[in-house]
Amino acid sequence: MELTWYGHSAFRVDAGDAHILIDPFLSGNPSWNNGWEEPAEGVTHVLLTHGHDDHIGDTVDILKNTGAMLVANFEICMFLVGKGVDQNRINPGNHGGTVDCGGFTTTFVNALHSSSSAGEGGANTYLGNPAGLVLHFPGDKTLYHMGDTDIFGDMALIQELHQPDIGLVPVGDRFTMGGAVAALACRRYFKFETVLPCHFGTFPIIDQTAQKFIEGMEGSGVNVPALKVGETISL
């Protein structure tokens, strides 16, 4: 499995025949700002944790130009169908549900956040409940993208049910857990082999580095790679 981080919460996962973009906030992402075309090359699936614009990002353009499958909650799927996404290329789910994505499965789990899309004049469109996503790959590692969330006690159940090996964890504070709390979540509730911090450094109002998280994980035995934006790691 290979993981590439594009800044904020945007990741590409390449595992076997599956080439996945999660929360592809790319062309408007000041941490990346190199467009969506290169990250989306050969992509087979786009997965969304929730409906905020800094997570949906370039999803519509990617889906229209690649024929990839959209995996998201029902509200997001239908919202994007209304923006021209092919209804035959959606794979909706919701909390507790697992969907077969062909070569891997995605399970929707809880996240403590909100989910909407800002429209003209400041009006928001409700886009269902936010989620974390657990990806199971036969014969490979299990990955958990937490989405945007705070710590919560039922993370223990996610560990019990799914035993994820890799965690993609928001650490930027203000809109998600801060680094110290995120480290507590990882240490108390999970047995990760590798954790990649995300959702930091993108905008001035969130933490600019993952240093608090890295310090909080010291001595845990968990691998915490210091990925640069655009860098790929093999796991």
Mean confidence (pLDDT) of the chain:
97
Could you list the residue range(s) of the whole structural domain that residue 29 is in?
2-226
pLDDT at 191 over 90: yes
In a domain, 163, yes or no: yes
Counted domains in the chain = 1
In a domain, 154, yes or no: yes
Query: What share of the chain has pLDDT > 70, as a percent?
Result: 100
Query: What share of the chain has pLDDT > 90, as a percent?
Result: 96
In a domain, 234, yes or no: no
- pLDDT for position 36: 98
In a domain, 233, yes or no: no
Q: Provide mean pLDDT across the span 56-70.
A: 98
pLDDT at 122 over 80: no
In a domain, 231, yes or no: no
pLDDT at 156 over 80: yes
Q: List the one residue out of 99, 37, 43 whose CA is nearest residue 71.
A: 99
pLDDT at 175 over 80: yes
Q: What is the CATH number of the domain that holds 21?
A: 3.60.15.10
- pLDDT for position 44: 98
179-189 and 155-162 helices, crossing angle to 10°: 50
- pLDDT for position 33: 84
- pLDDT for position 230: 98
- Give the pLDDT band (50/70/90) at residue 150: very high
pLDDT in tens, 70-92: 999 999 999 999 999 999 999 99
- pLDDT for position 62: 98
33 versus 20: which is more confidently predicted? Answer: 20
- pLDDT for position 226: 85
E-strand spans in the chain? 2-5, 11-15, 18-22, 45-47, 69-73, 90-93, 98-100, 105-110, 116-118, 124-126, 131-136, 143-145, 166-170, 194-198, 232-234
Q: Provide mean pLDDT across the span 138-148.
A: 98
* CA–CA distance, 5 with 22 (Å, rounded to integer): 10
pLDDT at 41 over 80: yes
- For 166-205, letters b (16+ CB in 10 Å) and e give bbbbbbbbebbbbbebbbbbbbebbebebbbbbbbbbbee
In a domain, 188, yes or no: yes
Q: List the one residue out of 112, 128, 134, 133 whose CA is nearest residue 185.
A: 112
Query: Measuring CA to CA, how many Å separate 185 from each of 54, 166, 182, 207?
Result: 24, 14, 5, 18
Lowest mean pLDDT among 93-107, 118-132, 152-166: 118-132
In a domain, 69, yes or no: yes
In a domain, 232, yes or no: no
